[in-house]
Amino acid sequence: MSDVISVARTLDRCGVLGPGIRAVLWVQGCPLRCGGCVAAETLPFEGGTAHGVRELAEWITGVGGIDGLTLSGGEPFSQAAALVRLVDLVREGRPGFSVMAYSGFRLEALRRGDDDQRALLERLDLLVDGPYVAARHASLLWRGSANQRIVALSGRHPELADATDSSAGIEITAEPDGSMSWAGVPPAAGFREHFEERLAARGFSLRHGDDDTAA
Ligand code: SF4
């Protein structure tokens, strides 16, 4: 079982990728190639930065004032074994810690997956499943296209039954070096291209790579 995760980016606090305020871990590498994917830099498996699961668990448990962890990417279920280890380590100290994951695969396919993928599924409270389909783009809560579902896999988030199914928007962060980063699911198709063009016109750049990809 792997103790190393190939990481594209981390974010301490995010209010637009799951319930409450959450740490977000974007893994590196996805076997799918959805047209219009806004996280193209996270797709190659050879990219990213290797981090040990203990190091990442210490990071998550050390962030104050968060309600949970969201796993995005890239494809979290391509690194399921190490993510199982990570979730278990985090919950050793915080048994009620909420964990949500995105996947380009549907729940039914993940349930037919390997042992590690099913073990990760068993640990999740929420799953946003299915590939991004640009032709079905919609402004929905935490997801980008109408085929994607929010699946409750535990009883930890009963409040979602009454949640309004509309976009949570995006969060933009100005970095100390003058670049910008963002997180969230764009409510409009083509957001990223327009956003980058506007930033470039104003002399800003959107950072890519290990610390500034977006999902
Ligand atoms: S949208 Fe998600 S599943 Fe599709 S290619 Fe991008 S990271 Fe992979």
pLDDT confidence band for 15 (50 / 70 / 90): very high
**All domains of the chain, ordered by start, with CATH?**
4-201 (3.20.20)
Cross-strand pairs, 11: 24
Q: Is the CB of 27 under 6 A from ligand 1?
A: no
Query: So what's the pLDDT on residue 1?
Result: 61
* pLDDT averaged over every residue in the chain: 91
HEC assignment per residue over 18-78: CCCCEEEEEECCCCCCCCCCCCHHHCCCCCCEEEEHHHHHHHHHHCCCCCEEEEECCCHHH
pLDDT confidence band for 213 (50 / 70 / 90): very low
pLDDT confidence band for 191 (50 / 70 / 90): confident
pTM here? Answer: 0.92
Q: Ligand 1 centroid to 45 CA: how many Å?
A: 13
Tokens of residue 45, six digits: 């498996």
87-101, 144-158, 180-194, range with the lowest pLDDT: 180-194
* Statement: residue 156 has pLDDT above 80: yes
Side chain identity at residue 80, one-letter code: A
Tokens of residue 188, six digits: 């409009």
Q: Ligand 1 centroid to 74 CA: how many Å?
A: 6
Residue nearest to atom 2 of ligand 1 (CA): 104
pLDDT confidence band for 71 (50 / 70 / 90): very high
Nearest 10 degrees: CA dihedral of 8, 9, 10, 16? -110
Query: So what's the pLDDT on residue 196?
Result: 76
- The mean pLDDT value for 180-189 works out to 86
Nearest to 183 by CA among 2, 8, 64, 46: 8
Per DSSP bridges, beta strands 68-72 and 22-27 are: parallel
- The mean pLDDT value for 91-95 works out to 94
For residue 72, give the ligand 1 atom closest to its CA: 7
HEC assignment per residue over 138-161: EEECCEEECCCEEEECCCCCHHHH
- The mean pLDDT value for 70-89 works out to 98
Q: Is the CB of 75 under 6 A from ligand 1?
A: yes
- The fraction of the chain above a pLDDT of 90, given in percent, is 78
Query: So what's the pLDDT on residue 103?
Result: 98
> CB-based contacts of 181: which residues, under 8 Å, 6+ apart?
172, 173, 175, 206, 207, 211, 212, 214
Q: Ligand 1 centroid to 92 CA: how many Å?
A: 30
